[in-house]
Amino acid sequence: MLAGKNFRLILMICIFTLMLTACSSSTEKTESDAVAALINGQEITMHAIEQKIATQDVNLEVQKQVEKLLENEGMRAPNGPSQTDLDEYLSHSGLDLSNMTKDEERYYNRTKRDINRNNSTLTPNEAFNLLVREEVLNQEARRQGLAISLEEAKDKYQQFKKQQLANWDSMGLSDETEAINEKAAKRLGYNSWEKRMEDGLLDFQKSASRNSLYQWFQEELGKKHPEVQDLQFRILTWNAWEDYTEYLLRQADIKIKQEGLNVIYYGEEWQQDILAGPEQDADPLIKQAAAFTIIGSNGTKELLTETADIMQQRLKKLGVKDMIITIGSGIRVEQAYWKQEIPWKTVSSRGLVEIGHGDLKIDNSQLKSVEVIVERPGNVKRISILLKLTEEGSKILAQLTEENLKKQLPIYLDGQVLLAPIVDEPITGGSFKLSLGKLKEEAEIEALASVLATEPLPLAVNYSS
């Protein structure tokens, strides 16, 4: 078998099992659901560790079944990525295994470690270390604004699934691989593969967010070191990524609650100048934190995540930097830096807009864009919010203002009157300003603009501290 074909079959097996790895959580709770550790306040449970181990075991079984399936088709599938495959690949890439540099040897040993771990049953501490690393990277992806939304995750999953089906279809093995999928799902306690994927969408989202963070890291590293190419760049990236991950681990507030668990470090001290650092603000920023509880009883994990995503978008639009958002029974925002006290109650409002009533009503779906406008007539600073509407919203606004000439037209936010201006003339241009300077502080107006510029929160939250 040619090395290239071997590599392709290995890749097919890896893609086939990746969806199991990315979607390793079950929504079922067990008596083993005790907290194993807290990572910046985010829980890792013993149940999650057990599920990680179970998923690895199912992955190994799936790999064997796929290899057997390919062998039955005369494809002589290799036994998964192995030490021999690694040695052959690196030798063909120009690496002298008998005379490696320190960085090359480190990359080689890490890759060996990954291969051995991926081809054997995980110990509880190995599973714990994988989960800890995933969690700090999830939090860093959020902090850097690189976490993808649930909608993006759904789209990526559909593309991933389509590609997977096309690959197996081209080999005439789609029915057989579907049967393997179904058996794997049932071993993990699900009635069907589709049900498993529904429950695993949040994990798929996190996996894609970590990948987004890695791609950003790789791109920044490439800008900083354009002279390093090919295999040497891969070695540089993998080693630097390990150091960066472990730097995040050391910076994190990790509280281990169970005996027998500990964080294992392999890398070296992170060289923070290895990437182009962000520009520093001239003005000092205030470090802040907040906690939010969920109002009502419909706070599923998916809705909690979506709510946290939208709150993060609002804070980023406001200019808040370096925040860490964690999700438990509620939502916590920590290490958030802004120029002054963040108006948390405004930022966490649902954001449901209503102008008019009945069939003649403008809501969030008709908001096209939101912009903060600063004017200085006579050296007096005035700040307002400019709302631009969609074509449909523009028509409704024109009719509403036509019918309410010389009357007040209330603008509601979350059922409360935000403003009730008197209509002087019909508004036909599809945009209008909210002049709130006499009613709210500048920070409140900026926060309100960030709320209007994003989708309403799917869950109502209460700012608790």
Query: How do residues 333-343 score in pLDDT, each as one tens digit?
Result: 988 888 888 99
Query: For 10-24, 95-109, 158-172, 368-382, which range has the lowest pLDDT when averaged over its residues?
Result: 10-24
Looking at residue 418, its amino acid is L
How is the beta sheet containing 35-39 ordered, strand by strand? 42-45, 35-39, 254-256
Classified as helix, coil or strand, 155 is: helix
Query: For 99-113, 202-216, 426-440, which range has the lowest pLDDT when averaged over its residues?
Result: 426-440
What residues form DSSP beta bridges with 314? none
Task: Quote the pLDDT of residue 12.
Answer: 44
CB atoms within 10 A of CB 227: 6
Where are the alpha helices (H) located in 348-463, listed in sequence order?
391-403, 442-452
Length of the chain counted residue by residue: 465
Confidence of residue 198 (pLDDT cuts 50, 70, 90): low
**Cβ neighbours of residue 217 under 8 Å, at least 6 residues apart?**
237, 240, 241, 244, 275
d(CA 102, CA 106): 6
Q: Where are the domains of the chain?
A: 3-272, 285-465
Q: Is the pLDDT of residue 117 over 50?
A: yes
DSSP letter, residue 145: T
d(CA 199, CA 98): 47
Strand residue runs (E) in 245-285: 254-256
Mean pLDDT over 426-447 rounds to 82
Task: Quote the pLDDT of residue 240.
Answer: 94
Task: Dig out the tokens for 351 from the structure.
Answer: 């954001």
Task: Quote the pLDDT of residue 233.
Answer: 92
d(CA 273, CA 408): 58
Task: Quote the pLDDT of residue 16.
Answer: 45
Query: For 73-77, 110-114, 291-295, which range has the lowest pLDDT when averaged over its residues?
Result: 73-77
d(CA 9, CA 7): 5
Positive/negative CA dihedral, 435, 441, 444, 450: positive
Q: Is the pLDDT of residue 384 over 90?
A: no
Task: Quote the pLDDT of residue 95.
Answer: 79
Q: What's the whole-number average pLDDT of the chain?
A: 81
Which is more confident, 273 or 39? 39
In 3-state terms the chain splits into helix, strand, coil percentages (rounded to 5) of 50, 15, 30
pLDDT digits (tens, 9 = 90+) for 67-98: 777 777 776 554 445 556 677 777 777 778 88
d(CA 333, CA 314): 12
Strand residue runs (E) in 186-314: 254-256, 286-294
d(CA 149, CA 175): 32
Contact 202, 301 (CB under 8 A): yes
Q: What architecture (CATH level 2) is domain 285-465?
A: 2-Layer Sandwich (3.30)
Query: pTM score, two decimals?
Result: 0.62
